Structure 1
Amino acid sequence: MKTSKLLYMSALLAGTLSFTACELDEYNPSGGDANITNYNAWRGLQAYCYSPLNEGLFSEFNFLSVAEGGTDMFENPSKDYAQEVFFYEGLTPSVQAPKVTFNQAYTTISTCNAVINHADEVEGADKDILVAEAKTLRAYYNLVLVTYYGPVTLSDEDISTGIINTRPKRNTVEEFYTAIIKDLKEAAAVLPVQPLDGNYGRVCKKTALGLMARAYAQGAGEGLSEDGVSYWMRAKDTAEELIKNASSYNIYLYDDVSDLWAQANNRNNPEALFIVSGVDANNESANYMSVNRNQLTFTFCNPNKLEDLYKIADKSNYYLGRVNNNAMAPTPYAIDVFDASWDKRWENTFMTAFGTFSMVTPGWLKYDNYGVEITQALIDKYGMGQQFLGDSIRPYAEINAIASTYKGNQYDFVGAWPKGGYAAHHADPANLITGIKNPFVIDYPVDVDDDRFAVVLSKDYKTDAEKAQSRYFTVNIRDLFDGNQYKRQPFDGTNSYQLYPSLIKYNWLYNGVSEGSNLQRRYGDIMVMRTAELYLIAAEAWERLGDAEQGRKYLEKLRNRAARPGTQAPALGTITEETILDEYAREMAGEYCRWALLKRHHLLGERLKRFNSRAAESFDESIHYCRPISNDFLQQIDNRDEYGDNGYGTTPTKGY
């Protein structure tokens, strides 16, 4: 496994200054009298511009819930946690997820400003590149703000001065996008093709240009143009420039989508345009990073809810991790949009077959530890075939434990046990199936005689008689729903209602990615933007420009690489807006982009009515196309009532 060279070690230099480095979820960092003209101090401050990426936005559940919640693709399956962002119920400026997201983006802009403003006062060989990085990051944070919060403030605060604007004025949406594009153009002209010092945690030329394509597309949804040219045309031109000249920009697209999500390719993934690099738990730098990357615990269901069948305590699941928060599950649309008969993106996006594990290699857990004998009581309760009475369900995964100096034990997927363990003992690691790209990707469909899974959620509807052909408990995914909402109560006499297809894009299992016994956290790399999005933007822009056929080749490229062996992607019919939205859903599910996509097409309300009825009940077209302004921000300015909260009722007006 190739490990990352972490950027954030240099951020320690910022701690040597007398700047008051506030917590990232606080508004208004203050400055001091440190000599920012010292190159090392200035460079340390520049590194701090990256801090909210790994220590906030892409480390916790807050931004993910803001970016994917309240859409046609995800809802809360079993409880009312974060119902404000998933269902627009009680959404106010004090709600944590949008508040923290706003704070983390807004406050760091003052650090970017300081780096840019004082560049002329320092001397250093890499100065121009570092400034270009700061401009790229400033553009990204401003894009987050204008996308999710609308016409807020283009902050000109500078952390080095300690001067805070307590009476900020809102900028227009057009002013935001003009500033964003200007920053990205200037950055792209300077940034190298390869990241500075070979550190892939830094932004580079393809990052700036990729974000420019995204910004043009998002701004196009606001009806913007540049020098008389539609932003849709600019988005198309930028995306196509990168696609057509990929080698010049070090841009790559995997031929096989399963390689994209292979564990071996998580670090420094070549398809990434913008990476938030994770902690390497085998490196001393891990001791100096504050990262709580816990998305997995919110996006997985907990099969231990069927504790008589899946006998692993949640706190001890070294395979799946501790999946006890269970807050984000796919809607029927997000499930039905995949045709699993040909599309490997289905199992590379969602886990639907849940097995246990052994730890024979380190001598921790014997192969038989989590074996479950199929009794008559289990057959009667779960509907497995009578012919399997007396047989057993055996482990799927073999996990190794490796001592590590810095973050405690590391856990590594060694391989999968072959099926048939009920008949012949397979405890010898020599029998393991190795070369599996991703331990959470279970090949579709699961054989009916497979004895390595306790429960399988079936995308294809099965009758009771068809379920009885299986050794495992079979749950029809459609039975989990009442209309397009999860039932949230037993419907078959079991706890199956608490299960759901589980997003696997933020779960990793390899040496260097774990935090010892804290099984809620895993520190893999996250791709903020990747090449496939350029293909989608190009197709989307062509469709919006009225010539959808020109975008066909970009969609077909993504579909063809997703076809499983022995199949081919079906031919696309007439390409419409719906076609574009569906292909985004298949390719980018859970990747922090759905809410923004539906906003720029102004389809949030319409899609919720069709695919997320609970959210539709509270969605207000006049308010909910902007998330609420952070209450922390509003409480620290003197013109709160004038500034407005985007229409959420805590100030007299929206403010725009």
Structure 2
Amino acid sequence: MNKNIFKPVLALCAAAVMGACSLDEYDPLGTDTSASLTEYEKWYGMQTKCYEPIYSQLYTVVDFMSVAEAGTDLWLTAKNSDNTKELFYYESLVPFANKYWDKAFIQAYTALGTCATVIKNGEKMEQTDAVKTLYAEARFLRGFYHLLLTTYYGPITLVNHSVEDGADLNPKRNTLTEIYTSVINDLEFAMNNLGTTPYNNNRARATKKSALGFLCRAYVQAAGQGLTAPDGTSYWDKAANLAADFVADTEAGGSKYGGYLYDDISDLWASNNNRTNKEALFVAAGADASMDTETWNNANAGKSKLFTLFYWNQTLCSDISKITSDKQNYFYGRTNAGVFAPSKYLLDLYTPSWDKRWENTFQTSFGGFSMQQPEWLPYSSQSIKLSPKVAKLYGISLSMANKYIYPYADCAALPSTSGGNQYVASVWPKGETSGDVSKLQKPKNVYVMDYPVAEDENRIFLYLSKEKMTAEDKVNRIYACVDIDDLFDETGAYLSTNVGNAWAGKYGQTNPLYQAYPCLNKFQWNYEGVFYGSNLQIKNGDVYIMRAAEIYLIAAEAYQKLGNGGKAAEYINKLRARAARPGVTAETYKLSNATEEDILDEFARELCGEHQRWALLQRHQAFRTQLPKGNKRAAATYRDIHKWRPISQTFLQQIDNAEEYGDNGYGTTAKSGLEGFEQ
């Protein structure tokens, strides 16, 4: 077996790391792995590479999303499919190589040797302001990657040695105490030495608020493992104090940490705020030609496919929408890879009558589009005259037959020097059917339609209703209406067929809409610069790895764990206030005393889909209690070994002591490897 191929993952071979990280136009590293890495330009180039897995893999593709969100109470597979059953349902979860958990493990480990090398050499350099800042960033990133790994894989091996130090093919695990002590030391150092403005004003780089945010996350994750700080202080106390300090500073203007919380939840998800988001603490930055391209270099940046994971394919009902090809769906993108469908438990957590997070989190109204502006698809050609046959198929009143469903959006085709055409969408005003492009409007987010949908709305072809609708409710609506509850079977799983079940009796055996579901729209971006030309599976938006709202929730979580549910409720109420609709009184949504259940529910409402749910359930030891609420199929197969994801088989195949190191109890090695290290 060639052991050398795994050296970059363990950060044991500098040459392998350098070769994988060459820059597009200029490689300050070359193949030099000597002490010349203390020369600023070479060191700076290597420091930049520490960020690469964040925007090239972890927060742009399916691997880490599946590790971080699947197998929880919030997400099911569309049509109750089996193709991702290992992580969604813990079925046949055998730790093979090249699976999602394997890839995420390697992606995070690959960067750690680079971080350690930057740290080691940075300590030898002249301590200019630039070196100090970049060194602190490297400490942040080392803490970030170690925290990610221990959160999901438990006791792993700390990588605090440089790639120049040579290979160790008999790695030893560290205890959780050792790991969290290292993580917290790195993050505390970064918080104390980074500024509130990113280096070179590059939004992809870490700042003081980034370090604070992940320090809060490290505190609560450590507390959830039953650990105590070296000085004897409770990690819940540390989390509560630091999170409270951040909130107080944010509400006073953010001078200390640079924090900000939008007053209106719709501004958080507004397209114009995606790349300049004030609430973001740390981002996986999408490719941006207007900015310093140092952040992306030769990485996979500009190839985010996250939105495709959460959308059903609109060609399912092309007879009512004229969206006939997923390869030419310029409004929604190529949505042919949808697998994450929200559980009924998650959807039921929202009360849309007061909570604007409903439509700013899930798209439930779907309309067609024209391309009148570039004259590709004239407005008139994209209007649907509803035939009696189609009306009957979709359960639309025959009184609507021979009336028109008009396009909702119009997509431009703007030429761009970066990424090809940009299909920026505008919205046709309700009631305006002239096709006059001068009438087009620019809402904050084109995928968000105000709740509730109007009865006389004629720009959508489908509405998935949170409330049950009677025949009388539907009679004057030209669009198809489906009660969200009808998309689930009696076990809470999504329907896998429209034959021989309640759907067939209510909607008919030929109605295809049982395959639809509310779509998470947090990664469904639309603005100039976000598109990747003709590849409609890709959108280059910024992914918020952490944002200020999470610190409010961590404050609530920590105070509740410390027995102060009243104080915890105050932080939850702050988030609810900015999500409340105009005219809604505080008494409608305010909590007076938050329980642990309230904490878990509020995390779901605010952060669903944002790479956090599995970690939350893990630190609350809540899989046994939460899975029956939202994911009965997973509840039936969940076992104690699933408290950690499997150790990477790619890793185990490259070391000499795999049987001793262990796979976390999944049965491919003689030992689990956990004994004596979960402390």
Bin of the TM-score, shorter chain as denominator length: over 0.9
SS across alignment from 2:423: strand
Determine if the alignment matches structure 1 residue 575 to structure 2 residue 594: yes
Distance in 2, matches of 1:496 and 1:553, equals 41
Deviation at 1:268, TM superposition (A): 2.5
1:249-264 equivalent positions in 2, closer than 5 A: 249-264=257-272
Deviation at 1:20, TM superposition (A): 4.2
Aligned residue identity for 2:602: E
The answer to whether the 8 A contact 1:349-1:504 is kept is yes
Q: Which residue of 2 aligns with 1:4?
A: none
SS across alignment from 1:565: coil
Distance in 1, matches of 2:438 and 2:598, equals 47
Distance in 1, matches of 2:487 and 2:496, equals 8
Deviation at 1:611, TM superposition (A): 1.7
SS across alignment from 1:279: coil
Aligned residue identity for 1:643: Y
Q: Which residue of 1 aligns with 2:497?
A: 489
Number of residue-to-residue matches in the alignment: 628
Q: Which residue of 2 aligns with 1:504?
A: 521
Distance in 2, matches of 1:385 and 1:419, equals 21
Deviation at 1:405, TM superposition (A): 1.9
1:146 and 1:306, CA in 2 relative to 1: closer, same or farther beyond 3 A?
same
Distance in 1, matches of 2:88 and 2:629, equals 15
1:171-186 equivalent positions in 2, closer than 5 A: 171-186=174-189
RMSD: 1.8
Q: Which residue of 1 aligns with 2:677?
A: none
> How far does the alpha carbon of each residue in 1:366-401 deviate from its partner, in whole angstroms, 9 at most, with x for none?
112222111110121111122211101110011111
Distance in 2, matches of 1:287 and 1:442, equals 37
Determine if the alignment matches structure 1 residue 106 to structure 2 residue 109: yes
Determine if the alignment matches structure 1 residue 118 to structure 2 residue 129: no
Q: Which of 571, 575, 578 pairs up with 1:561?
A: 578
Determine if the alignment matches structure 1 residue 403 to structure 2 residue 415: yes
Q: Which residue of 1 aligns with 2:33?
A: 33
Distance in 2, matches of 1:120 and 1:289, equals 27
SS across alignment from 1:519: coil
Q: Which residue of 2 aligns with 1:432?
A: 440
Deviation at 1:335, TM superposition (A): 0.3
Q: Which of 644, 658, 672 pairs up with 1:626?
A: 644
Distance in 2, matches of 1:611 and 1:407, equals 40
Q: Which of 212, 215, 219 pairs up with 1:216?
A: 219
- Report the more deviating stretch, 636-645 or 602-611: 602-611
1:391 and 1:287, CA in 2 relative to 1: closer, same or farther beyond 3 A?
farther
Determine if the alignment matches structure 1 residue 331 to structure 2 residue 334: no
% identical aligned pairs: 44
Deviation at 1:640, TM superposition (A): 0.3
1:187 and 1:550, CA in 2 relative to 1: closer, same or farther beyond 3 A?
same
TM-score computed with the length of structure 2 as normaliser: 0.90
The answer to whether the 8 A contact 1:278-1:526 is kept is yes
Distance in 2, matches of 1:209 and 1:77, equals 37
- Report the more deviating stretch, 220-229 or 141-150: 220-229
Aligned residue identity for 2:558: A
> How far does the alpha carbon of each residue in 1:415-461 deviate from its partner, in whole angstroms, 9 at most, with x for none?
2112335xxx3200122233x10011111111121111111111101
Q: Which residue of 2 aligns with 1:237?
A: 241
Deviation at 1:131, TM superposition (A): 1.0
1:612 and 1:559, CA in 2 relative to 1: closer, same or farther beyond 3 A?
same
Deviation at 1:92, TM superposition (A): 2.4
SS across alignment from 1:529: strand
Determine if the alignment matches structure 1 residue 359 to structure 2 residue 371: yes
Q: Which residue of 1 aligns with 2:69?
A: 68
Q: Which of 601, 619, 630 pairs up with 1:600?
A: 619
Distance in 2, matches of 1:371 and 1:280, equals 35
Q: Which residue of 1 aligns with 2:657?
A: 639
Distance in 2, matches of 1:18 and 1:101, equals 22
Aligned residue identity for 1:576: T
Distance in 2, matches of 1:439 and 1:552, equals 33
Determine if the alignment matches structure 1 residue 417 to structure 2 residue 428: yes
Q: Which residue of 2 aligns with 1:293?
A: 304
The answer to whether the 8 A contact 1:19-1:33 is kept is no
Aligned residue identity for 1:329: A
Q: Which residue of 1 aligns with 2:671?
A: 653
Deviation at 1:229, TM superposition (A): 1.2
The answer to whether the 8 A contact 1:322-1:520 is kept is yes
Aligned residue identity for 1:649: G
Aligned residue identity for 1:459: K
Distance in 2, matches of 1:45 and 1:282, equals 23
1:431 and 1:504, CA in 2 relative to 1: closer, same or farther beyond 3 A?
same
Distance in 1, matches of 2:590 and 2:299, equals 48
Q: Which residue of 1 aligns with 2:53?
A: 52
Distance in 2, matches of 1:236 and 1:137, equals 23
SS across alignment from 1:522: coil
Determine if the alignment matches structure 1 residue 532 to structure 2 residue 549: yes
Q: Which residue of 2 aligns with 1:199?
A: 202
Deviation at 1:303, TM superposition (A): 2.1
Distance in 2, matches of 1:511 and 1:119, equals 39
The answer to whether the 8 A contact 1:393-1:454 is kept is yes
The answer to whether the 8 A contact 1:157-1:165 is kept is no
Q: Which residue of 2 aligns with 1:276?
A: 284
The answer to whether the 8 A contact 2:364-2:465 is kept is yes
The answer to whether the 8 A contact 2:576-2:590 is kept is no
Q: Which residue of 2 aligns with 1:89?
A: 91
Q: Which of 333, 352, 359 pairs up with 1:321?
A: 333
> How far does the alpha carbon of each residue in 1:532-558 deviate from its partner, in whole angstroms, 9 at most, with x for none?
011101111110001110122211110
Distance in 2, matches of 1:22 and 1:222, equals 38
Aligned residue identity for 2:33: D
Aligned residue identity for 1:637: I
Q: Which residue of 1 aligns with 2:632?
A: 613
Distance in 1, matches of 2:360 and 2:481, equals 20
> How far does the alpha carbon of each residue in 1:510-545 deviate from its partner, in whole angstroms, 9 at most, with x for none?
110110000000000111111101110111111000
Aligned residue identity for 2:206: V
Q: Which runs of 5+ in 2 are unaligned?
A: 1-13, 22-29, 675-679
Determine if the alignment matches structure 1 residue 350 to structure 2 residue 350: no
> How far does the alpha carbon of each residue in 1:224-272 deviate from its partner, in whole angstroms, 9 at most, with x for none?
1111111000000110111112222111000000000000000021101
Q: Which residue of 2 aligns with 1:3?
A: none
1:467 and 1:595, CA in 2 relative to 1: closer, same or farther beyond 3 A?
same
Determine if the alignment matches structure 1 residue 444 to structure 2 residue 445: no
Structure 1 residue runs of 4+, over 3 Å off? 17-24, 30-34, 281-289
The answer to whether the 8 A contact 2:573-2:589 is kept is no
Distance in 1, matches of 2:242 and 2:135, equals 22
Distance in 2, matches of 1:156 and 1:403, equals 47
Q: Which runs of 5+ in 1 are unaligned?
A: 1-16, 25-29
Distance in 2, matches of 1:122 and 1:19, equals 24
Determine if the alignment matches structure 1 residue 471 to structure 2 residue 483: no
Distance in 1, matches of 2:649 and 2:32, equals 26
1:31 and 1:577, CA in 2 relative to 1: closer, same or farther beyond 3 A?
farther
Determine if the alignment matches structure 1 residue 133 to structure 2 residue 145: no
> How far does the alpha carbon of each residue in 1:610-646 deviate from its partner, in whole angstroms, 9 at most, with x for none?
22111112110x2001000111100000000000001
Q: Which residue of 2 aligns with 1:455?
A: 462
Distance in 1, matches of 2:554 and 2:236, equals 9
Deviation at 1:288, TM superposition (A): 4.7
The answer to whether the 8 A contact 1:32-1:160 is kept is no
> How far does the alpha carbon of each residue in 1:59-109 deviate from its partner, in whole angstroms, 9 at most, with x for none?
111111111100000111122232111111122222611111100111211
Distance in 2, matches of 1:156 and 1:634, equals 20
- Report the more deviating stretch, 259-268 or 457-466: 457-466
The answer to whether the 8 A contact 1:417-1:426 is kept is no
Distance in 1, matches of 2:570 and 2:54, equals 33
1:518 and 1:283, CA in 2 relative to 1: closer, same or farther beyond 3 A?
farther
TM-score computed with the length of structure 1 as normaliser: 0.93
Deviation at 1:32, TM superposition (A): 5.8
Q: Which of 179, 187, 190 pairs up with 2:190?
A: 187
Deviation at 1:281, TM superposition (A): 5.1
Q: Which residue of 1 aligns with 2:540?
A: 523
Deviation at 1:18, TM superposition (A): 5.9
The answer to whether the 8 A contact 1:20-1:32 is kept is no
